[in-house]
Chains A and B, each alone.
Chain A
Amino acid sequence: MATLIPAAAPPRSVPKPQGRLGGRWTRFALRRTGRLLVSLWVLVTVSFLMIHLVPGDPVRAALGMTAPTELVEAKRQALGLDDPLLTQYVHYLGNLLHGDLGESITTQLPVSETISQRLPATASLAVLAFLVAIAVAIPLGVAVAVATRRGRRRRTELAFAGSSVVLGAIPDFLVGVALVAVFAVGLGWFPVAGRTDASSYVLPVLALAIGPAAVLARIVRVEMLSVLETDYVRTARAKRLPARRIHLRHALPNAVTATLTLGGMLLASMIAGTVLVENVFAWPGLGSTIVQSIVTKDYPVVQGTVLVYGLGVLVINTLVDVALAVLDPRSTIGEL
């Protein structure tokens, strides 16, 4: 992921000059919405099919081998599992539109209630971690790129490359465990687990942010380096603009556009990363819920949480594309 493979330069395309600006944006919005809807449909269908792809009887699996047959039958009836697949699908879609995600097999509570209770903890964790990662990675990547450009300061470059590779390779839950061992157990500066006050956020946010920040900083550096070699940066230099303006106004936006796509994927994987980190810190979020429900085979809960996670990812991907379109107007005329 972090390695950028040197590939043959793509054939230079000559975009046709576009006449109407509004038309371009409308087409972009239509295309992007279309893609969102398709992805959404796939997500919903996968989460629906998931339960049907489980080998054997999911209700039997959930309630255990010892459960009485009548109870299993009743549960199947309640979940509508005996209806034809298509009927169930239509039913599932209909319920979704009303915000009804079914109810837990084990606790009998509505899934939507559990999710609305636990979502804020997860969302705040992910958003904070993302902001931290961005705030560290972009300035760091830019600074290192400018400093180590064209073979200058070999040592700085090596130190940066080495530490970012190592930090990027450590999985977030392991960072979490290490942070707990040092700062909570050893030094006692922060709470070991749980979500209480602001200080309880520090370690989970760091655990989630360090790896992606390292990877992102590397990407920003590589992109920045390649942008600094482009013809248009040479043009800016030919205009004798101050170095600051060349770096921040001409190079950075272009480096960020190239980074953004990968940054979006990184953010999406951070959302998934909360699952692991929450388990390290006993964080009362969706991550603990999904793992628990997979273990206890509480399928309606799994379905609901997967939907919420997937939805989060889709929203992020869409936001990234919109941001990209604003930063780099060329991307609005791209292919689907």
Chain B
Amino acid sequence: MSTLEFDHVTVRYGASTVLDEVSLIVPDGEIVGLVGESGSGKSTLAKAAVGLAPVHGGQILLDGEPIRLRGRHRPVQMVFQDPFSSLDPRMTIGESIAEALYRPESGRLSRAGRRVEIARLLELVHLDAGRAGHRPGELSGGQRQRVALARALAGRPRLVIADEITSALDVSVQGAVLNLVREMQRELGLSMLFISHNLAVVRYVASQVAVLEGGRIVEHGPTAEVLGRPQHDYTRQLLAAIPGGHDTLTKETNA
């Protein structure tokens, strides 16, 4: 696994600046949480790292090298929010994973080798290897999200980006996916950029937290510090807004 560095990254869509000189480091083997509200630019940052958003300024580095966004082997993989649209309904989950499998420069994987690798990946995310022949329609949302994670790992990425991967799931399933994410980090030493609007979820999985507001990072540091002793007003606002939190429903601001 590797270190991902956003170095003064700026992204614009037309006249509007979505990311404004964002600098952020995801250290080797750590999970960095990125929180913010809709429109803050969190998803755009993820897209920029995998080449789905145009970068107008700054650079994105992986272990000090500009990140490779073309060609067959891509070092950064991503898991998406919606488990229902992130898998091709026509392909078996085995085929979906096979498509993303890492191929050694020397040549192609044998058919048997591919099958073994798919089975290994499915077991890694706690799915029965026999599921490889199933189509996404036969799986629940939580199971699909595990398949999406397996697919992301199939390309032997140096880093994985998780974009709101639990927000479309029911609460009873969300916990299982979060447990899996932590397990991956501990056992595989996975580096991850974990994007979520839910502070409690981020607190549970991430060792560092960055707070994004209006395309700028307003606060960044170890999770306990940022959430325990927030320095920026906006972070405090976010914390205060958590339902079931400490001093909710006392402040009066305009939407």
List residues of chain A with CB under 8 Å of any chain B CB. 8, 14
Map CB proximity to A onto B25-48 as digits: 1 under 8 Å, 0 otherwise: 000000000000011000000000
Chain A residue contacts of B39, Cβ below 8 A: 14
Chain B residue contacts of A8, Cβ below 8 A: 85
Chain B residue contacts of A14, Cβ below 8 A: 38-39
Map CB proximity to A onto B78-99 as digits: 1 under 8 Å, 0 otherwise: 0000000100000000000000
- In the bound assembly, the distance between CA atoms of A14 and B43 in angstroms comes to 15
**A3 CB → nearest B CB, Å:** 22
Q: A-B pairs with CB below 8 Å: how many?
A: 3
- In the bound assembly, the distance between CA atoms of A14 and B38 in angstroms comes to 10
The residue on A at minimum CB distance from B39 is A14
- In the bound assembly, the distance between CA atoms of A14 and B39 in angstroms comes to 10
The residue on B at minimum CB distance from A8 is B85
**A208 CB → nearest B CB, Å:** 43
Chain A residue contacts of B38, Cβ below 8 A: 14
- In the bound assembly, the distance between CA atoms of A8 and B39 in angstroms comes to 24
**A23 CB → nearest B CB, Å:** 14
Q: 3 interchain pairs (CB within 8 A)?
A: A8-B85, A14-B38, A14-B39
List residues of chain B with CB under 8 Å of any chain A CB. 38-39, 85
The residue on A at minimum CB distance from B16 is A16
**B114 CB → nearest A CB, Å:** 30
Nearest 3 Cβ contacts at the A-B interface: A14-B38, A8-B85, A14-B39
**A16 CB → nearest B CB, Å:** 9
- In the bound assembly, the distance between CA atoms of A241 and B15 in angstroms comes to 43
Chain A residue contacts of B85, Cβ below 8 A: 8
**B228 CB → nearest A CB, Å:** 33
The residue on A at minimum CB distance from B82 is A11
- In the bound assembly, the distance between CA atoms of A205 and B85 in angstroms comes to 49
The residue on A at minimum CB distance from B85 is A8
- In the bound assembly, the distance between CA atoms of A103 and B25 in angstroms comes to 74
**A315 CB → nearest B CB, Å:** 31
- In the bound assembly, the distance between CA atoms of A44 and B148 in angstroms comes to 53
- In the bound assembly, the distance between CA atoms of A75 and B153 in angstroms comes to 75
The residue on B at minimum CB distance from A16 is B16
- In the bound assembly, the distance between CA atoms of A281 and B39 in angstroms comes to 61
**A10 CB → nearest B CB, Å:** 12
The residue on A at minimum CB distance from B38 is A14
**A57 CB → nearest B CB, Å:** 51
- In the bound assembly, the distance between CA atoms of A8 and B84 in angstroms comes to 11
**A256 CB → nearest B CB, Å:** 31
- In the bound assembly, the distance between CA atoms of A212 and B39 in angstroms comes to 44
**B17 CB → nearest A CB, Å:** 14
- In the bound assembly, the distance between CA atoms of A194 and B211 in angstroms comes to 77
- In the bound assembly, the distance between CA atoms of A215 and B162 in angstroms comes to 47
**B39 CB → nearest A CB, Å:** 8
- In the bound assembly, the distance between CA atoms of A8 and B85 in angstroms comes to 10
**B93 CB → nearest A CB, Å:** 20
The residue on A at minimum CB distance from B84 is A8
**B202 CB → nearest A CB, Å:** 23
**B96 CB → nearest A CB, Å:** 18
**B67 CB → nearest A CB, Å:** 27
**B184 CB → nearest A CB, Å:** 29
- In the bound assembly, the distance between CA atoms of A14 and B85 in angstroms comes to 19
- In the bound assembly, the distance between CA atoms of A99 and B38 in angstroms comes to 56
**A45 CB → nearest B CB, Å:** 30
- In the bound assembly, the distance between CA atoms of A122 and B187 in angstroms comes to 78
- In the bound assembly, the distance between CA atoms of A8 and B38 in angstroms comes to 23
**B85 CB → nearest A CB, Å:** 8
